[in-house]
Amino acid sequence: MSALIPDRSLITRKRLRTALLGLLILLALVLGRIIDEGIPRTFEPLRPFERHAALDEVVSLRWGEVRVTSVTAAPQIEGIIGVSTTPELWLVVELEATPRWDASTVQWVQIRDGADRIFTRGRGQLGCTRTNPGVTTGCVVSFEVSAEHLAGARLTVGHAVSDERADDVAVIDLQIAQDQVDRWLDVDEPLVLPTPRSVGAGSAQPGDRPDDGTDNGPAKGPDDDAAGLP
């Protein structure tokens, strides 16, 4: 029995301190792991604020107002460098933007199709001139898109250059129907890309607030669950 009891001379103060230090390191590692696992790993905290609207409706955002004025598509477009073709369709959207506070403009756009697939512009363009507060500018945006699920597509419009995270974005239903998509697919002539035009004074004024009265709350929409980044 006495063999099981360690010799008291082996339990020195130095060894006790070393053991305690080892234990503290282990506890710190466990605590670090628990904290690490508790921190959200998604971009949910950076989810954009969304304001849902439809074609021809004015959407009031933190930085200004936007309104989609027209939507069209064709298999080919003709711009300043000539005719460009695409595997399926070029989607061309015209919109107006009026900054409220600073000289700025729309800097980021995407398409969410009817199946919630996300399209960047591909080889398309974002033609949108920066204007002074209160002055409306016309923008032309083109996208390379798949015709499948294009019905029900929405345009997202943002102000941040790189992406939509933590931005206030407009999600605009382009009101595209399947029969319209079918007609666009049959267009033989290249679609002439419109030139972005200046429009003049808009209604966005400093001090105006977005329509829902909240300047920083996420707007709710029917497809709100699809809004966050993965």
Partner 1 sequence: MARLQAPLEATRAYVRGRTIRDVVLGAFLAVVLISGLFGGWDAAEREVAIANVAETIEAAPLEVTVLGAATSTDLDSSDFSDPEGRYIVVVADLTSDQVRSIPALETVHVARLHGVPGVFRPYASSDIPPERVAPRLAFARDGSMLRDIGPGLTYRTWLVWEQRPGAPEPSEVTVGIYGMTYRASSIDGSQGWFDPTLISEVTVPVTGTISGPDPTGDGWPAPGGRP
* Token reading at 7: 């010799």
Closest contact distance (angstroms) between CB of 206 and partner 1 is 33
Closest contact distance (angstroms) between CB of 150 and partner 1 is 10
Listed in sequence order, the residues at least 6 apart from 137 whose beta carbon sits closer than 8 Å to its beta carbon are 96, 97, 98, 105, 128, 129, 130, 131, 196, 198, 199
Nearer to partner 1, 71 or 111 (CB): 111
* DSSP calls for 120-189: --TT--EEE--B-TTEEEEEEEEEEE-STT-TT-EEEEESSSS--TT-EEEEEE----HHHHHHHHT--S
Nearer to partner 1, 89 or 204 (CB): 89
Nearer to partner 1, 18 or 205 (CB): 18
Closest contact distance (angstroms) between CB of 154 and partner 1 is 14
Nearer to partner 1, 123 or 220 (CB): 123
Residues 123, 144 contacting (CB under 8 angstroms): yes
Distances 194 to 82, 142, 165, 166, 174 between C-alpha atoms, Å: 13, 10, 30, 31, 18
Closest contact distance (angstroms) between CB of 97 and partner 1 is 23
Q: Which residues make up the interface to partner 1 (CB under 8 A)?
A: 41, 43, 81, 83-88, 113, 116-123, 143-146, 148-149, 229-230
- Backbone dihedral angles phi then psi of residue 189, each to the nearest 5 degrees: -80, 145
Closest contact distance (angstroms) between CB of 144 and partner 1 is 6
Nearer to partner 1, 78 or 224 (CB): 78
